[in-house]
Chains A and B, each alone.
Chain A
Amino acid sequence: MNIPRVLNKKNRVLLAELTKTDFKLRYQGSVLGYLWALLRPLMMFAILYVVFAKLLKFGGDIPHYPVYLLCGTTMWSFFTECTSQGIQAMIARGDLIRKISFPKYIVVVSATLTAVINMLINLVVIIIFALINGVEFSWTWFLVPLSLIELYVLSLGISFLLGAINVKYRDITSIWDVCIQALFYAIPIIYPVAMVAASSALAAKVILLNPIAQAIQDIRHNLITPETITTWNYISNPLLEFLPIILIVVVLIFAAFYFRKKSKFFAEEI
């Protein structure tokens, strides 16, 4: 795979057109159209807010808890949307794969870029909510893109790996749905880490070693309140601290090699 060919003009145009099409078609035929990109996570947030913040009183003493919660659910939606679209991408675009020759990664990237666009729109909403809620601007806001890139790279890695397997074994889609459900509870999205830490420090540490949890907590820390418990301020072992990052790099490298090897045969297997 030489870089000039991978990023040549033809491939860039194809990526741009596929992304545009995906985005246009996502809310095709619905009255509110693109507004759903905003409404869906906001509605999900409203439900979680009523159940967990109001009824179960999970917020505790976290400042700006509603924004903190919104931030977590948005980033979680980004991750789930990215991976489920990415894993499905090859099957959804099977007609192209069977009929033209092009680098297959374009299909995965274009499918996930729609999720990136949605996330960026929602990020604006979070910032507006944060300012309304009294969160003050801080220079750490400029660190947020780093965590977003981290989350996206992980999603891409998972999409490449599971997407390649999914071409042959369609079970992956269902298995991943279950994994998503389990992960949702394994990551401190609705509950604060402090709640877990209060009963078991070890459990809190394990939770924070998950790359998704690490990225989401970092975003909350840098965007909303420095009181957020993060992997960096809760785990003191410097080797362990970097485990989430190492995990992401390993997943991406392995996924890229696997995808490259398998993609030669997608056209006949799909």
Chain B
Amino acid sequence: MGKYKIGTRKEISTNGDIAIHVSNLYKGFKLPTERAFGLKQAFFNRLKGIKGYKEQKVLNDISFDVKKGEFVGIVGRNGSGKSTLLKTLAGIYYPQKGEIIIDGNLIPFIELGVGFNPELTGRENVYLNGAMLGFSNKEVDTMYDEIWKFAELEQFQNQKLKNYSSGMQVRLAFSIAIRAKGDILLLDEVLAVGDAAFQQKCNNYFKSLHGNQTVILVTHSMENITKFCDRAILIENGKITLDGTPKTVAKAYKNLWS
């Protein structure tokens, strides 16, 4: 198998200064043209010589490096491939072509509260979601009180999650998520949660990350890009069209609509 026949994603640990290396990354999805769910349709499609899908290129030759400690923002319109890029970096999607090298322990927040179950109590959900983020029960034990205090939901610990408001659920999820200690954080639009007071707490958290941790942030908020990021990348139709300072990228992003 040649190096670029099929994509690779490697996690290594070195003392180098590159945290994420992406070169010539391609990712496409097979979109079903005729209904291709089910054995019968698959069988008839084969008989008729129909492939049953067409290939949709989502990431088209993406290359970039992220240095250790860098806070990088990724912006682009809906459907430009930002989330696919993040999911491929996180190892959820398999790279079709190209190479990804991750140096360090990577923690993805594609969504908050992964695994949350409405039928379980808040307490049970904390342990469940903790496990998704790689925490052992013992580790959750030690930060348990801190989680509830930060979320300001101490009195609801033993309520079922379905009795929480959606804002409360997100606050709890966020409060668990920020305990995760990795070398690299991937964040997908998880900034805007809760009311103004909680927002302030979140902003403080992101400020605290700045300079200490490698972060990749996907967002539509140019305010966050200029406030937190060292560098920003603009993606259009699966290609990087601009890679530069937050200010220039924010300007180019706004110009997409003018």
| A residues neighboring B (CB under 8 Å) | 9-10, 13-14, 16-18, 21, 24-25, 28-29, 95-101, 168-171, 264-265, 267-268
B107-134 interface (Cβ within 8 A of A) = 108, 110-111, 114-115, 117, 119-120, 124, 127-128, 130-132, 134
Distance from A150 Cβ to chain B, minimum over Cβ atoms (Å):
30
**Residue from B87, B111, B120, B137 in contact with A21 in the complex, judged by beta carbons closer than 8 Å:** B120
16 contacts between A and B (CB under 8 A): A13-B131, A14-B132, A16-B131, A17-B127, A17-B128, A21-B120, A25-B119, A25-B120, A96-B115, A99-B114, A101-B91, A101-B108, A168-B37, A169-B38, A169-B42, A170-B37
Distance from B113 Cβ to chain A, minimum over Cβ atoms (Å):
10
CA distance A208 to B131 in the complex (A): 43
CA distance A267 to B108 in the complex (A): 15
Contact (Cβ within 8 A) B119 A100 = no
User: B93 near A: Cβ within 8 Å?
Assistant: yes
User: B144 near A: Cβ within 8 Å?
Assistant: no
Distance from A183 Cβ to chain B, minimum over Cβ atoms (Å):
20
Known interface pairs A100-B132, A267-B87; A25-B114 also in contact (CB < 8 Å): no
B39-92 interface (Cβ within 8 A of A) = 39-40, 42, 87, 90-92
**Residue from B42, B91, B120, B132 in contact with A96 in the complex, judged by beta carbons closer than 8 Å:** B132
Contact (Cβ within 8 A) B115 A9 = no
Contact (Cβ within 8 A) A171 B38 = yes
Residues of A within 8 A of B132 (CB): 14, 17, 96, 100
Distance from A198 Cβ to chain B, minimum over Cβ atoms (Å):
40
Describe A's contact surface by its main secondary structure: helix
User: B94 near A: Cβ within 8 Å?
Assistant: yes
Contact (Cβ within 8 A) B92 A98 = yes
Interface size class of B (residues with CB under 8 A): 20 to 34
User: B198 near A: Cβ within 8 Å?
Assistant: no
Contact (Cβ within 8 A) B114 A21 = no
Residues of B within 8 A of A21 (CB): 115, 117, 120, 124, 128
Distance from A18 Cβ to chain B, minimum over Cβ atoms (Å):
8
Contact (Cβ within 8 A) B94 A13 = no
The 4 nearest A-B residue pairs measured at CB:
A101-B91, A17-B131, A264-B94, A10-B134
User: CB-nearest residue of chain A relative to B89?
Assistant: A101
CA distance A170 to B40 in the complex (A): 11
User: B206 near A: Cβ within 8 Å?
Assistant: no
Residues of A within 8 A of B92 (CB): 97-101, 267
User: B163 near A: Cβ within 8 Å?
Assistant: no
